[in-house]
Amino acid sequence: MSYRGKIDNRKKIAQIVARELRALFPDAKIALNFSNSWELLVAVILSAQCTDKKVNEVTAKLFEKYKTLDDYVNANQLEFQQDIFQTGFYHNKAKNILATAKIIKEKYDGKIPCTMEKMIELPGVARKTANVVLGVACGVHVGIAVDTHVRRLSNLLGLSPEKNPDKIEKDLMQIFPKQEWPKLTYRLIEYGRKYCSAKKHDHSACPLTRILNL
């Protein structure tokens, strides 16, 4: 399934992909559980290299224990590491979440900053995390969140030849109209989960593969 290089070709592919994904998953949305913007940011940071299902299991207890931003500001890092242990990379995640809590309290008066420039300055926040939080919490759509599903399917469907998430994001932003950006990530994730997983399988049974004749 080779990459189809010219941007006009990729725009045609993107048009088909967007149309079919809208039909398959009209109501696709983030799968993480949260009750406010801060909990959303915590959940997205925890989701790095971890399934949404596992994150939701961990945050069900975590959000009961740490109810306010101040609870995170005052948390013991070693104890917090144990609280998020099951999500993997718990040392860095704990350090980043607790450091970010202090910055948000001291610098942003307890509120999530709603610009990409400010978001990516927070510890543990790269463009993927920032795009998700900005879109869901702020209604700000300045890019497209590229997670493992989006990266894999972008390569597979001929939308981008790149491996670096930031480069894939730029490619996707070139070929998908801006009105598609808010739900594109979640529709691709749902498609990857339901039809075209990372496990070895017969791609001829995948709807987009058939339609695009890949």
Residues with a catalytic annotation lie at 128, 147
Kindly tell me the burial class for residue 78, based on how many C-beta atoms sit within 10 Å of its own C-beta (0-12, 13-18, 19 or more).
exposed
Distance CA 168, CA 150 (A): 9
Helix intervals (H) in the chain: 7-24, 37-46, 52-65, 69-73, 77-83, 90-107, 116-119, 127-133, 148-156, 165-175, 181-194, 207-212
Residues 141, 143: Cα–Cα separation, whole Å = 6
